[in-house]
Chains A and B, each alone.
Chain A
Amino acid sequence: MAEYVIIGNGTAAVGCIEGIRSIDSDGAITVISGEEHHVYSRPLISYLLEGKTDLERMKYRPADFYEKNKVNVVYGKAAKIDTKKQEAILEGKGKFGYTKICICTGSSPFVPPFEGLDKVKKKFSFMTLDDALALEKVLTDKSRVLIVGAGLIGLKCAEGIAERVGSITVCDLADRVLSSILDAECAAYMQKELEDHGVSFMLGDTAVKFDKNKAYMKSGAEVEFDILVLAVGVRAETEIAKQAGCDTNRGIIINTKMETTAANIYAAGDCSEGYDSSISANRVLAILPNAYMQGRCAGINMAGGSSEITDAIPMNSIGFFGLHCATAGAYPEDGEIYEERTDKGIKRLYFKDSKLAGYMLIGDVNRAGIYTSLVREKTVLDNEETEKVKKMPSLAIFSDEKRRTKLGGVV
């Protein structure tokens, strides 16, 4: 009988379990969970602090998920993989033999070596449920919060606690918010929305030194705070894979079947570096849908089925205080950029080589998925179709025949 071991208990692990079980209903599955929690949705921790979800509802799968899928969950830290004996070795909790193993270790916060950081008492990362619960304990309606990092994590944290603290300042070395997904104009629009809800920014500036409750900024400014949140960035957890002999770069290198370069070892999710079709190269695509799909793909292959992902692209849907933003694909500057601005938002479409290469929508994100599908499928557009794409995302973009198949058939 096959023995599957999954290191990690997040989204990719769930995908892997469901992938395995779609092929093999009997093989033994062991999940090694570093966190002492039933699988939960990590991106929901800001909504937890905001009061929009709770510990029960934020479970990513129902309470009987492991039981129904006959999964043995071991809570502990995986120390290493012995590739010769095909065993996963846990710190102080024994070892588990495997026929196939999947590394779903995710990522962890990157904390630069700030001078004086050790003297800051109330400092937090914002990645895990435990991080959020620890932060929640110290929040008061007078707290002055300094968030270092104006990316997705830092800003979702700001939104989550905005109603519960005295003030929030976000700083980032980048000159704009959400620099990984938005261009300058879209970022400025989003920033204004956050400012309208009381969040202050110090952009192009960052903390270089701390002294208890004071941050000394690169610009020379000083910021006093009660609570410090470090959201500078994340790094893929590749250590176990490295020790096991898998090739790694920024993440664990995987092919389109989620196989690492080591035999019988797969990887999926934020720890991995898989094929990104928008740049035709490998890249860490640390987004939840990707983690699930990669996990599922790995699971199917581990169980002897056949699955491949060749069309992964970066994409994000994120909102702050009710203002939504959807982005996908790549943003080539040397193609045609189509833009519409209204008082309710921005639409930017990036065309290149007769295709929609990527887009940013702020405000109206209705039917954005039609744009995403054009990007993902690299649909070639003639002039007439391009004009339809600019107008709005609709199924009218497709030929009559294609549309009739979509709406008249089982897809």
Chain B
Amino acid sequence: MKRVFVNEDWCLGCHLCEYNCAYANSGLSDMVKALKGKDIFPRIHIEETDGITYAVSCRHCKDPLCVKSCIAGAISIEDGTVKIDKTKCVGCLTCVLVCPYGAVAAGPEGAAQKCELCLANSCGSPACVKGCPNNAIVYEER
């Protein structure tokens, strides 16, 4: 399956991926309305240390700890994509406790959220990748 991969040498640290992610998952058709003046909850984040920057999002692990650890049975794998059923999630954040990549976080309503590859939103494929100006994140088979 295709996953999102990172080339940290090419990352400019511009944070555009975060904005594109938050917009794609907002359900709104206007980027300004989706983001302006709001606390945003992107499912990808830029880490910056000692001048090195790179984007981190769900790795869609083959044997994910979050799926095995979810106390509500709310996380499952569907055709390789790790998904959170937010109607089942109670926001205990056990997935945050176990994800070795720091790629799951509480969303605006307290339920956990993470990258689901934009497969279920109107974008259809990862918005972060589409919007990356320097190909520092790619969506491909490896």
Say if A and B assemble together: yes
Q: Is A47 an interface residue (CB 8 A)?
A: yes
What separation, in Å, do the CA atoms of A289 and B88 have in the docked complex?
17
Chain B residue nearest in CB terms to A39: B73
Query: What residues of chain B lie closer than 8 Å to A411, measured between beta carbons?
Result: 59, 61-62
Q: Which size class do B's interface residues fall under?
A: 35 or more
The contact of B92 among A15, A319, A393, by CB within 8 Å, is A319
Q: Would B99 and A369 count as touching, CB distance under 8 A? A: yes
Chain A residue nearest in CB terms to B49: A396
Query: What residues of chain B lie closer than 8 Å to A93, measured between beta carbons?
Result: none
Query: What residues of chain B lie closer than 8 Å to A324, measured between beta carbons?
Result: 93, 106
Chain B residue nearest in CB terms to A391: B49
Q: Would A289 and B94 count as touching, CB distance under 8 A? A: yes
Q: Would B100 and A292 count as touching, CB distance under 8 A? A: no
Q: Is A395 an interface residue (CB 8 A)?
A: yes
What separation, in Å, do the CA atoms of A353 and B97 have in the docked complex?
23
Chain B residue nearest in CB terms to A293: B68
Q: Would B101 and A317 count as touching, CB distance under 8 A? A: no
Q: Would B102 and A288 count as touching, CB distance under 8 A? A: no
What separation, in Å, do the CA atoms of A281 and B109 have in the docked complex?
40
Q: Mark A381-393, 1 if CB is under 8 A from B, else 0.
A: 0000000100001
**Which of A202-210, A215-223, A360-368 has 4 or more CB atoms under 8 Å from chain B?**
A360-368
Q: Would A395 and B102 count as touching, CB distance under 8 A? A: yes
Residues of chain A at interface, number, CB under 8 A: 49
Q: Would B96 and A61 count as touching, CB distance under 8 A? A: no
What separation, in Å, do the CA atoms of A396 and B91 have in the docked complex?
27
Centre residue among A53, A400, A407 by max chain B CB count within 10 A? A407
Query: What residues of chain B lie closer than 8 Å to A61, measured between beta carbons?
Result: 73
Q: Would A388 and B102 count as touching, CB distance under 8 A? A: no
Chain B residue nearest in CB terms to A57: B88
Q: Would A288 and B69 count as touching, CB distance under 8 A? A: yes
Chain A nearest CB from B94 CB (Å) reads: 4
What separation, in Å, do the CA atoms of A372 and B96 have in the docked complex?
10
Chain A nearest CB from B24 CB (Å) reads: 20
Q: Is A240 an interface residue (CB 8 A)?
A: no
Query: What residues of chain B lie closer than 8 Å to A370, measured between beta carbons?
Result: 100-102
Q: Would A319 and B72 count as touching, CB distance under 8 A? A: no
Chain B residue nearest in CB terms to A369: B99
What separation, in Å, do the CA atoms of A317 and B98 have in the docked complex?
9
Q: Would A319 and B91 count as touching, CB distance under 8 A? A: yes
Q: Is A315 an interface residue (CB 8 A)?
A: yes
Chain A residue nearest in CB terms to B4: A407
What separation, in Å, do the CA atoms of A366 and B42 have in the docked complex?
13
What separation, in Å, do the CA atoms of A53 and B61 have in the docked complex?
28
- The answer to whether residues A395 and B94 also contact, given A370-B100, A407-B6 and a CB cut-off of 8 A, is no
Q: Is A408 an interface residue (CB 8 A)?
A: yes
Q: Would B73 and A403 count as touching, CB distance under 8 A? A: no
Query: What residues of chain A lie closer than 8 Å to B110, measured between beta carbons?
Result: 322
Q: Mark A341-382, 1 if CB is under 8 A from B, else 0.
A: 000000000000000000000000111111011000000000
Q: Would B101 and A369 count as touching, CB distance under 8 A? A: yes
Chain A nearest CB from B51 CB (Å) reads: 11
Chain B nearest CB from A309 CB (Å) reads: 11
Q: Is A60 an interface residue (CB 8 A)?
A: yes
Chain A nearest CB from B63 CB (Å) reads: 9
The contact of A289 among B8, B59, B68, B105, by CB within 8 Å, is B68
What separation, in Å, do the CA atoms of A403 and B6 have in the docked complex?
10
The contact of A409 among B7, B96, B100, B142, by CB within 8 Å, is B142
- The answer to whether residues A368 and B96 also contact, given A53-B72, A322-B110, A393-B102 and a CB cut-off of 8 A, is yes
Query: What residues of chain B lie closer than 8 Å to A372, measured between beta carbons?
Result: 97-98, 100
Q: Would B47 and A394 count as touching, CB distance under 8 A? A: yes
What separation, in Å, do the CA atoms of A284 and B111 have in the docked complex?
29
**Known pairs A368-B93, A373-B100 / 10 extra A-B pairs, C-beta < 8 Å:** A14-B73, A41-B72, A53-B90, A317-B92, A322-B110, A326-B96, A369-B65, A369-B96, A394-B49, A395-B101
What are 7 inter-chain pairs, A to B, with CB distance below 8 A? A366-B96, A367-B99, A369-B96, A396-B50, A403-B8, A407-B56, A407-B59
Q: Which residues of A contact B (CB under 8 A)?
A: 14-15, 41, 43-44, 47, 52-53, 57-61, 288-289, 292-293, 296, 315-319, 322, 324, 326, 328, 365-370, 372-373, 388, 393-396, 400, 403-404, 406-411
Q: Which residues of B contact A (CB under 8 A)?
A: 3, 5-8, 47, 49-50, 52, 54, 56, 59, 61-62, 65, 68-69, 71-73, 87-88, 90-102, 104-106, 110, 142
